Amino acid sequence: ANLLEEIQEGVINGQAPRVKELTQTALDQGMGPQTVLNEGLVPAMAVVGEKFQKGEFFISEMMISARAMYSGLNLVKPLLLSQKAESKGKAVVATVQGDLHDIGKNLVCMMMEGGGYEVVDLGVNATPDKFVAAVKEHRPDFVMMSALLTTTMANMGKTIQALSDNGLRANLKIGIGGAPVTQRFADSIGADFYAADAGEAVTKANMLIS
């Protein structure tokens, strides 16, 4: 198998030290950090999700795979951030209330930082009140929300409502994403944009800020 396939297998099998080693080898061989990320580490998590859905994997295995993914991600991260320019704007980013999935959210933070934005990461399980407090404190240009569960998607709408109720909506550009999220859903809750992946989050932010 080639290196990218081996990285995928390592993540699926939850082998953190192996994924770290393979990722380092790939980078040492001159493979681009984006390639390692988008063709090695990230697609593996989709396979993990399928296995969970089929009942082949339990939550413990999903967690071990996530840990293996992070062992590679931690090596790729500094390389993606190295071309940082001066700040183009500020984004508050978090996974919404009730939702603990943080890999996609962390990729959005990384890509936004790499794309020249200042990022305030509120972590996971961020309540509407937490977003409101952060927007008051940091006065960002963007709020970006991530949700991976159909049950927590609704909290994106609640957060937008809370921002409106507090008079903070007008100057804010709100973007949403995550596996179950769609453009149609974004329209239905009054978000300014939807992004299918972390790279697109940056492209759309760039379009809105220029």
Binding site for ligand B1M (CB under 6 A): 42, 45-46, 48-49, 52-53, 59, 62-63, 66, 98-105, 107-108, 144, 146, 148-150, 175-180, 195, 197-198, 201
Q: Which is nearer to ligand B1M, 22 or 144 (CB)?
A: 144
Contact (CB, 8 A) for 153 and 103: no
Residue with tokens 């800020």: 209
Distance separating the N- and C-terminal Cα atoms of the chain: 44
Nearer to ligand B1M, 29 or 75 (CB): 75
Nearest distance in Å: CB 119, ligand B1M? 12
Q: Which distant-in-sequence residues (6+ apart) come within 8 Å of 149 by Cβ?
A: 98, 99, 101, 180
Asked if residue 170 lies in contact with residue 164, where contact means CB atoms within 8 angstroms, the answer is no
Give least dist CB 185 to ligand B1M, A. 12
| Nearer of residues 59 and 85 to ligand B1M, judged by Cβ | 59
Which is nearer to ligand B1M, 29 or 162 (by Cβ)?
162
Closest separation between CB of residue 56 and ligand B1M, Å?
A: 11
Tell me which DSSP letter residue 98 carries.
Answer: T
Least separation in angstroms between residue 9's CB and ligand B1M is 15
- Looking at beta carbons only, is 112 or 162 nearer to ligand B1M? 112
**Can you list the positions of beta strands (E) in the chain?**
90-95, 118-121, 142-146, 173-177, 193-194
The distance of closest approach from Cβ of residue 199 to ligand B1M in the complex, given in angstroms and rounded to an integer, is 7
Contact 180, 207 (CB under 8 A): no
Nearer to ligand B1M, 30 or 69 (CB): 69
**Counts of helices then strands in the chain (DSSP H, E):** 10, 5
Q: In the numeric block, which tokens belong to residue 176?
A: 């949403």
The Cα 13–Cα 54 span in angstroms is 16
- Residue 176 CB, nearest distance to ligand B1M (Å)? 5
Backbone angles phi, psi at 53, to 5 degrees: -60, -40
